[in-house]
Chains A and B, each alone.
Chain A
């Protein structure tokens, strides 16, 4: 088949239409936008390659070239997906791409040539059908974009100054703090899809409580003076980024506690600074990634993956912890990788042999895989007690 440029574009967009419709339905069912984003990206990558590469490379395009073109477009697509951090799950995304490619093959090799007189002679041009298909694809993308925009949560600006809490958020919204915005008495997130940005929280039982909801994002929040936990998450999926939690002087509180949320998928704590408190970051029965954080001066454990959790701690910096720094406890499965642990002190007052200043400790039937951690000046570099296991491997056993 010798495509004209317009023929390539007509055929591509018309073949994309059924996949786009499927993606729109999927987006509605899953309540995620990645299917539509992925198809939009497929269209963009395909059209760009049509214009710049395929049209020049293939004056005549044999049917087998569909395979090579498919592989090349998949590679470009995945590079963009990962490069720009689009949150599309790998296998469903591959399945959607595969379905799109297969649809395209079937339509261009059989469907269009069967139902359109002169499809081959016209170089793949579809006449009015092509125009309608282009308009339909454009309409679907514009409609999706409009729906996305309309569904964006409202942004509530919190002005500079002190606002008396506790503040309870009971609807989808983005709470955006202006510079110097402070909430005294804590914040409770009680609705799905809430984002809190640039807000300082002072006091409260917990600084920020997230309980039984999904899609919470805490970005650039500062928590000081909480009575119990700085950030307290129960049965909820969260992403915590670039936070600061000051727990100095609090002997029983935990900087960030994410617990009992196995059913909400992966949570994440990234780029936070936690000072003081009994535990810096802890998870219980949770799947949480703990990445690029700085934890110091804790009195119990710095980072603890506990109680049947499956979690990883990567590229964290832990200094001056008392007793234990990195802890994998109570039938948990942990991956500790590229962490720096410096100066973990012996907790002599406790008299507990498991608090001898361990850089890494696995206890009570837990398994911790270690890879390229830097352990310096700790009471004991690492240890495993009560039927636990430490392994040196870059491949977690879970």
Chain B
């Protein structure tokens, strides 16, 4: 049977979507376009760069189509202990990075991912009769999961030779300035302190302390229903608010910082000073305009946008380009208009479920 469904992007969002799509489709019916067959390749480098050992996500931060069995269940079974399940019941379970990567590897092997993988950087997606043209190939249903458009380094620091982005491999100088206030920044504060450095935190605003990227009710219809009803301007404001830097509360983070502050090895300053090293924990560039594929798609089809965001329907499909015979959907970070935590695994799953639903209800399927 010819390939009917394309996933553009072979990162974790595309991989998670693939796992859901495999419930209804064979590997031969799916094409995954990407530059690296390892779905965790990009993520692995970033996690390694900030020396991340534990996931921020919880038991359901995995790539399987259904939330259960989660990683806590798998860990409990592997360890022969109920502790992971109890921790999960208390929202205190966080899988290790190694556990997560092993999970991805296991799924990759058993899902047929490599059979569907096509090593190609897709430059162009265009709507045509009965579907979409993806770099010359024709597909009825296409999921765009292009990932982040690149690392974000503040304009004023781009030419500073001391600068390294937190997601690039690096060591620590004796004096380190960390720009940013999210999870990566907090991790870097602790890393640099543990390496014996003196740390300066530069931030534009105080970080929000919460367990996940966005408040928990935005992960379900309960919070999403109100979000989807917001008019565009308010939705943009809400997304800006939700995108504010955050990291979890807890002594694990606070105690080392308080200790270092007492020893005068950690302080907050308004701007970059004379530190030997400047680490930009400033995340990724945002917005469809920084992604060539999306920018071209918007331009050629005159798609609706709201400031940096591509406007999507609640099921993360592109309005005007999806109907009862074809689907164009977006997953990962560019899908925030539909799901504020779109750049999480739960967000990828949310889009994947709806994409599959569209495919299954397609009358020409």
Q: Interface residues, chain A, CB within 8 Å of chain B?
A: 1-4, 7, 59-60, 62-64, 109-110, 113-125
Please report which residues of chain B, range 70-92, place their CB below 8 angstroms from some CB of chain A when the two chains form the complex.
73, 88-91
Q: Collect the chain A residues with CB atoms within 8 Å of residue B169's CB.
A: none
Q: Report the separation of the CA atoms of residues A125 and B216 in the bound assembly, to the nearest whole angstrom.
A: 17
| Min CB–CB distance B64 → chain A (angstroms) | 10
Please tell me if the beta carbons of B216 and A117 are within 8 angstroms of each other in the complex: no
Q: What are 25 A-B residue pairs whose CB atoms fall within 8 Å in the complex?
A: A2-B220, A4-B221, A4-B222, A4-B225, A7-B221, A63-B89, A63-B91, A64-B90, A110-B73, A113-B66, A113-B67, A114-B66, A115-B66, A117-B66, A117-B353, A118-B349, A118-B350, A118-B353, A119-B66, A120-B67, A120-B220, A120-B346, A121-B220, A122-B220, A122-B221
Top 3 nearest A-B pairs (CB, nearest first) are A113-B68, A63-B89, A2-B220
Q: Collect the chain A residues with CB atoms within 8 Å of residue B310's CB.
A: none
The reply to whether the CB of B246 lies closer than 8 angstroms to some CB of chain A is: no
Q: Report the separation of the CA atoms of residues A3 and B69 in the bound assembly, to the nearest whole angstrom.
A: 19
The reply to whether the CB of B302 lies closer than 8 angstroms to some CB of chain A is: no
The reply to whether the CB of B217 lies closer than 8 angstroms to some CB of chain A is: yes
Q: Report the separation of the CA atoms of residues A63 and B354 in the bound assembly, to the nearest whole angstrom.
A: 26
A63-B91, A113-B67, A117-B23 given; name 18 further pairs at CB < 8 Å.
Answer: A2-B216, A4-B220, A7-B221, A60-B216, A62-B89, A63-B90, A64-B89, A109-B68, A110-B69, A116-B66, A117-B353, A117-B356, A118-B350, A118-B354, A120-B67, A121-B219, A121-B220, A123-B222
| Min CB–CB distance B32 → chain A (angstroms) | 20
Please tell me if the beta carbons of B356 and A125 are within 8 angstroms of each other in the complex: no
Q: Report the separation of the CA atoms of residues A62 and B91 in the bound assembly, to the nearest whole angstrom.
A: 7
Q: Collect the chain B residues with CB atoms within 8 Å of residue A64's CB.
A: 89-90
Q: Collect the chain A residues with CB atoms within 8 Å of residue B89's CB.
A: 62-64
Question: Given A7-B221, A121-B221, do A110 and B68 touch, yes or no (CB 8 Å)?
Answer: yes
Q: Report the separation of the CA atoms of residues A63 and B23 in the bound assembly, to the nearest whole angstrom.
A: 27
Q: Collect the chain B residues with CB atoms within 8 Å of residue A62's CB.
A: 89-91
Q: Collect the chain A residues with CB atoms within 8 Å of residue B60's CB.
A: 120
- Could you give, for residues 323-365 of chain B, a 1 whenever the CB lies within 8 Å of some chain A CB and a 0 otherwise? 0000000000000000000000010011001101000000000
Q: Report the separation of the CA atoms of residues A119 and B89 in the bound assembly, to the nearest whole angstrom.
A: 17
Q: Collect the chain B residues with CB atoms within 8 Å of residue A121's CB.
A: 219-221, 224, 346, 349-350, 353
Q: Collect the chain B residues with CB atoms within 8 Å of residue A60's CB.
A: 215-217
Please tell me if the beta carbons of B350 and A114 are within 8 angstroms of each other in the complex: no
Q: Report the separation of the CA atoms of residues A59 and B218 in the bound assembly, to the nearest whole angstrom.
A: 10
Q: Report the separation of the CA atoms of residues A2 and B214 in the bound assembly, to the nearest whole angstrom.
A: 13
Q: Report the separation of the CA atoms of residues A343 and B351 in the bound assembly, to the nearest whole angstrom.
A: 86
Please tell me if the beta carbons of B88 and A63 are within 8 angstroms of each other in the complex: yes
The reply to whether the CB of B223 lies closer than 8 angstroms to some CB of chain A is: yes
Please tell me if the beta carbons of A125 and B221 are within 8 angstroms of each other in the complex: yes
Q: Which B residue sits closest to A122, measured CB to CB?
A: B221
| Min CB–CB distance B273 → chain A (angstroms) | 41
The reply to whether the CB of B20 lies closer than 8 angstroms to some CB of chain A is: yes
Q: Report the separation of the CA atoms of residues A276 and B193 in the bound assembly, to the nearest whole angstrom.
A: 96
Q: Report the separation of the CA atoms of residues A109 and B220 in the bound assembly, to the nearest whole angstrom.
A: 15
Q: Collect the chain B residues with CB atoms within 8 Å of residue A4's CB.
A: 220-222, 225
Q: Which B residue sits closest to A5, measured CB to CB?
A: B222
The reply to whether the CB of B65 lies closer than 8 angstroms to some CB of chain A is: yes
Q: Report the separation of the CA atoms of residues A4 and B221 in the bound assembly, to the nearest whole angstrom.
A: 7
Q: Collect the chain A residues with CB atoms within 8 Å of residue B23's CB.
A: 117
Q: Collect the chain B residues with CB atoms within 8 Å of residue A114's CB.
A: 66, 68-69
| Min CB–CB distance B362 → chain A (angstroms) | 17
